[in-house]
Amino acid sequence: MRIALGIEYDGTDFYGWQRLKSDASVQMAVETALSRVAAHPVEISCAGRTDAGVHGRCQVVHFDTGAQRDMRSWVLGACSNLPDTVAVLWAQPVAAEFHARYAARSRRYRYHILNRPVRAALDARYVTWERLPLDAERMHEAAQALLGEHDFSAFRALSCQAVHPRRTVLSVSVRREGEQLFVEVEANAFLHHMVRNIVGSLLLIGRGERPIPWMAELLAGCDRQVAGPTAPASGLTFLGPRYPSHWGLPAEVSMSGENR
């Protein structure tokens, strides 16, 4: 049987999603918990790997098992064996053809900025602090240059192992809610550090240090060394992937309307 799970995690204390030989990873924590529930070794595949310090709102994974457990037992059993910073939100059987990574049509990220003179205390693990005033409208306007299919080399980490730098951004927005700014990006896929590098450049525009057209110029120039710095990991959350509705997954990870 193939089972899909939705997973939420605080990435602060992990060295990223991917399983490592020695350092703590979210993948290892989840596989260890599921292996205890299944009473056999379990390996999982995810929709999108996240870096050290990056959080997950609804990461989707799948695994195969011959163990007979109801879906509630997978959720509760896994949660009871996971650290407090990781939780399984739901579990459901899926077709054998389903693959958490390859079946996804898009991925969504949100970057959270606290924009006030004083640093965060309660939310310090989940935001990036910017003390200088930011103009969210300028940032939003500049970000629209990213829409569509482009070569995103200007926002690609040197360590990126992707075969090519072309990605398609489906939507991008910057909005303010009081002292909070949210940058949300949905794309078919992302390059290593792509969202954090985009945010690093948008911050310069928001502070008035660069003009609005600069974002389009960066994109066209394909030069990472010219773009802004990589924004901190703490503000970034992987909201989750989106799948065609025929897989029957929960609404939060399913496409809707004409995109089905």
DSSP string of 207-222? TTSS-TTHHHHHHHHT
State in words which class domain 106-238 has. Answer: alpha beta
Taking the domains of the chain in order of start, what are their residue ranges? 2-103, 106-238
Fold of 2-103: Alpha-Beta Plaits (3.30.70)
Of the residues 10, 13, 51, 135, only one is catalytic, namely: 51
What dihedral do alpha carbons 74, 188, 196, 205 form, nearest 10°? -140
- Could you tell me what percent of the chain has a pLDDT over 90? 94
DSSP state of 243: B
Phi and psi at 200, nearest 5°, equal -55, -35
Half-sphere exposure of 238 (CA within 13 A, CB side): 32
What is the pLDDT averaged over residues 139-167? 94
Q: What's the pLDDT at 161?
A: 84
Query: CA-CA distance, 25 to 73, in Å (whole number)?
Result: 23
The pLDDT tens digits of the residues spanning 161-186 come to: 888 999 999 999 999 999 999 999 99
**Exposure string for 106-140, b = 16+ CB within 10 A, e = fewer:** bbbbbbbbbbeeeebeeeeebbbbbeeebbbebbb
The pLDDT tens digits of the residues spanning 227-249 come to: 999 999 999 999 999 999 999 99
Query: CA-CA distance, 160 to 155, in Å (whole number)?
Result: 10
Q: What's the pLDDT at 158?
A: 85
The pLDDT tens digits of the residues spanning 63-89 come to: 999 999 999 999 999 999 999 999 999
**Residue-level length of the chain:** 260
Active site residue 51: yes
Q: What's the pLDDT at 259?
A: 47
Mean pLDDT of the chain: 95
Tell me the whole-structure pTM to 2 decimals: 0.94
The pLDDT tens digits of the residues spanning 12-41 come to: 999 999 988 778 999 999 999 999 999 999
Q: What's the pLDDT at 257?
A: 55
Q: How confident is the model at residue 258 (pLDDT cuts 50, 70, 90)?
A: very low
Q: What's the pLDDT at 159?
A: 85
